[in-house]
Structure formats: structure tokens, C-alpha cells
């Protein structure tokens, strides 16, 4: 068991790597942030990623995400992919995606599978091939090798080893991976945000390839993307029967900063914008929100804040709570306990959300 470096609290729900308990993060953040920031910097140096979003007055502006990096010549943006070469920002353009993909049989293990056409058949026959789970069809899972966050518990952290490295693929190559059995594309990673130009172009080419057939465009994202790119994502998903799955990692910005290294304000604004469109197509739902239940940090208080926020936007927005397992930098925490998970589910439902689900139940650990 670790001990909080400030208040001395000891327990399995305190990360010795992070160094502080959630109570101290919430109440004494300014005092402890310099030490927490060092942990984030260490995790980024390991992969030669920039420690801060560059803000060079004479740099080239990248306005894709919340960081709005101004990148000096020869340097990279915070994502580690977008870089300035000979005065031009490269990386993530339509013809140069740092990306890999594979076909996943439907229904698949997706945070939206309990409410989406691929997992349930909702929207049949317009958006689904079957009046039930799309057994026999495929999801094209598109994994982007970059991210605009620095989550210390990243479940897909191996992408960092590939950021800005290896063979690049054009959006046309990606679109050609769509087969007659492919009924949805899910862009995830990492995150689609740093390479949203590539993803949008690939989506349009793929939809043209299947213009007389079902092909849903879906996104799994941290919500850091800015306009007009968010609007393009929304248009593609709304028209095709797909969805946008936004991961709101914590409600308290101090907790979010401690775990992810960045603010959650853009993510909250993204959810607000997408929620305005939710009534246009509530079934299949256009927007799904998820949260990973990090033991000791993403507790009932965090879930309550998120649930109340979503309820006020639209109580029918589906909310998926996910079990945590020790990973990447926060490998000293336990898996989410069943009691922790159930308490969070009850809190979210009790605040008026109509559709709440617990995912990854196979990862749940015993009470502690």
C-alpha cells in the first residue's frame, strides 16, 4: 500500500507513482501540481514527446485541438505527430496517416455496443443489416498512433511507440479496407483528433465506396477536437447512423489534470455541442459518454458530477462506466472493485440518467 506524500493517507486506492490521494488533489492542487507534473513529464520523455504544447510566437499554428500549438521549425506539437518542416505542418494530413487497422466481427466489445445498430440492430433497416446484433458483419477498427492527452493509465499506451514512426498510409488506402461485409468504421487510438483530416477524408471515400449500402461512421475520442472538425465528424455520424463516443475521464478539472495532464474544459464543451444534436436522432443514439473508474480517483463524486451534467443536457444520453485494470504509469493501483463499480452505477441512475451500463465487467476485482 502506498502513502499520500502530503496528508499521509495510506491505502490501495493511493498511487505511490502519482504520489497523492484524491482528497489532496481536490483541495491542495496548486501546492502539489508541480510534483504531479513531473510524473507526466517523465512518462512523455520515455517516448520523446514534447513536455508542453509549443507556443512559439513565430511558429506555425495548428488549430485542430484544444492545445492550439504554435510549432517552431523542426519541432512537434504536443501530440508528437504534427510537426513543422520547411514552414509547413506535416503529419496527419489526408495522405499521411500514422495508423493501423483490422476487422472486428460484430457485435464487438465497444462502449456503445449495447445501444448501437451493430450490437442491437436498432435503426433497422435504415442503419442496420439485421433486426438484432449484426452477426456475420464486420467493424473496421481504425487505430491512430497519436493523442492530445497524456493519461497516466492509458489502456492503449503502445501507440506512443509508433507516434510519428513507421510507414504512413493515405486515406484512400484506408478506405479501400472496407469490404462488402463492413457495416461500420470506428476511429480510435490514441485518438483520432491529431489526424482528423485523414479520418474525415477516409470516411468520405469509404462512404462513396458503399454509397448504396450501410456504413456507419463512429468515433471514440477524448473530445479535444475543435470546430470546424467536430462539426464534420458529427455530420458524418449523424447521416450514416454512427455515433460519437466521448470519454469524459473526470469531472473535477484538478482530478482530470492529475490523471491526464490536461484540462477537461474542451471535452465538456464538445459534449455540450454534440448534445444539442442528440434529439435529432435519439435512436440509434448519436452521442455516448464513457468514464473509466480509476480506483481511488474516479469515484462516486466524479461520476455524480458527470451524471448530473449529462442529465441536464438530455437524460437519455447513454453513459457507460468501464472497469480499470493496472496499466502504463498507474500500474500500482488495483482493478476496479465490484462494490466501487456498483456504487457508481447507482449514483448515475439515481441522478436521473435513463441509460447507464457497466462495461468490462470481466475485469472487476473483489471489494477492498
Find the radius of gyration of the CA atoms of the chain.
20
Best CA proximity match to 137, nearest among 158, 115, 113: 113
Residue-wise pLDDT tens digits, 50-61:
999 999 999 999
Answer whether residue 203 shows pLDDT above 60: yes
Could you give the CA distance from residue 200 to residue 197 in angstroms, rounded to a whole number? 5
Give me the percent of the chain exceeding a pLDDT of 70: 99
Answer whether residue 92 shows pLDDT above 70: yes
The confidence score (pLDDT) of residue 7 equals: 96
Map grid coordinates 447521416 to a residue: 239
The confidence score (pLDDT) of residue 184 equals: 98
For the segment 315-329, the average pLDDT, to the nearest whole number, is 96
The confidence score (pLDDT) of residue 347 equals: 98
Best CA proximity match to 309, nearest among 344, 263, 268: 268
pLDDT class of 366 with cuts at 50, 70, 90: confident
Answer whether residue 368 shows pLDDT above 50: no
Give the chain's mean pLDDT.
96
Best CA proximity match to 247, nearest among 182, 319, 299, 180: 319
Cell of 177: 479496407
121-142 burial: b if 16+ Cβ within 10 Å, else e: bbbbeebbbbeebbeebbbbbb
Map grid coordinates 448515475 to a residue: 348
Residue-wise pLDDT tens digits, 326-363:
999 999 999 999 999 999 999 999 999 999 999 988 88
**Domain range list for the chain:** 99-363
Could you give the CA distance from residue 117 to residue 342 in angstroms, rounded to a whole number? 27
Residue-wise pLDDT tens digits, 209-263:
999 999 999 999 999 999 999 999 999 999 999 999 999 999 999 999 999 999 9
- 121 sits in the region (left: phi over 0; alpha: psi -120 to 50; else beta) called left
Answer whether residue 190 shows pLDDT above 90: yes
Partnered with residue 186 across adjacent β-strands are: 141, 218
Best CA proximity match to 189, nearest among 250, 100, 103: 100
The confidence score (pLDDT) of residue 167 equals: 85
DSSP label at 323? E
Domain 99-363: give its CATH architecture: Alpha-Beta Barrel (3.20)
Could you give the CA distance from residue 278 to residue 287 in angstroms, rounded to a whole number? 6
* 24: three-class secondary structure by DSSP: helix
Answer whether residue 306 shows pLDDT above 60: yes
Amino acid at each position: 500500500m502506498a502513502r499520500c506524500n502530503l496528508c499521509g493517507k495510506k491505502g490501495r486506492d493511493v498511487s505511490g507513482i502519482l504520489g497523492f490521494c484524491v482528497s489532496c488533489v481536490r483541495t491542495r492542487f496548486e501546492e502539489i501540481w508541480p510534483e504531479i507534473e513531473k510524473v507526466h513529464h517523465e512518462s512523455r520523455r520515455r517516448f520523446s514527446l514534447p513536455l508542453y504544447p509549443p507556443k512559439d510566437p513565430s511558429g506555425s499554428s495548428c488549430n485542430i485541438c484544444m492545445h492550439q500549438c504554435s510549432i517552431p521549425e523542426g519541432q512537434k506539437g504536443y501530440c508528437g505527430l504534427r510537426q513543422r518542416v520547411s514552414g509547413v505542418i506535416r503529419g496527419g494530413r489526408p495522405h499521411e496517416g500514422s495508423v493501423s487497422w483490422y476487422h472486428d466481427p460484430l457485435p464487438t466489445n465497444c462502449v456503445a455496443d449495447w445501444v448501437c445498430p451493430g450490437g442491437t440492430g436498432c435503426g433497422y433497416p435504415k442503419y442496420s443489416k439485421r433486426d438484432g446484433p449484426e452477426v456475420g458483419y464486420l467493424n473496421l477498427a481504425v487505430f491512430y498512433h497519436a493523442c492530445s492527452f497524456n493519461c497516466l493509465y492509458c489502456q492503449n499506451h503502445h501507440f506512443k511507440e509508433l507516434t510519428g514512426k513507421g510507414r504512413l498510409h493515405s486515406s484512400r488506402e484506408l478506405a479501400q479496407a472496407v469490404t462488402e461485409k463492413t457495416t461500420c468504421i470506428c476511429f480510435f487510438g490514441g485518438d483520432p483528433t491529431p489526424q482528423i483530416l485523414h479520418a474525415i477524408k477516409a470516411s468520405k471515400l469509404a462512404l462513396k465506396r458503399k454509397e448504396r449500402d450501410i456504413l456507419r461512421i463512429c468515433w471514440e475520442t477524448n473530445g479535444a477536437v475543435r470546430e470546424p472538425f467536430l462539426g464534420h465528424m458529427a455530420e458524418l455520424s449523424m447521416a450514416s447512423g454512427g455515433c460519437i463516443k466521448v470519454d469524459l475521464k473526470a469531472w473535477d478539472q484538478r482530478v482530470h489534470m492529475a490523471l491526464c495532464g490536461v484540462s477537461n474544459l474542451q471535452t465538456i464543451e464538445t459534449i455540450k455541442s454534440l448534445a444539442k444534436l442528440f434529439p435529432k436522432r435519439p435512436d440509434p443514439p448519436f452521442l455516448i459518454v464513457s468514464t473509466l473508474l480509476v480506483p481511488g480517483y474516479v469515484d462516486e463524486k466524479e461520476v455524480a458530477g458527470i451524471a448530473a451534467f449529462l442529465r441536464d443536457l438530455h437524460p437519455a444520453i447513454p453513459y457507460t462506466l468501464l472497469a480499470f485494470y493496472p496499466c502504463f504509469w498507474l500500474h500500482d493501483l488495483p482493478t476496479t472493485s465490484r462494490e466501487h463499480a456498483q456504487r457508481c452505477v447507482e449514483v448515475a441512475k439515481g441522478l436521473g440518467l435513463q441509460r447507464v451500463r457497466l462495461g468490462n465487467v470481466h475485469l472487476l476485482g473483489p471489494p477492498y
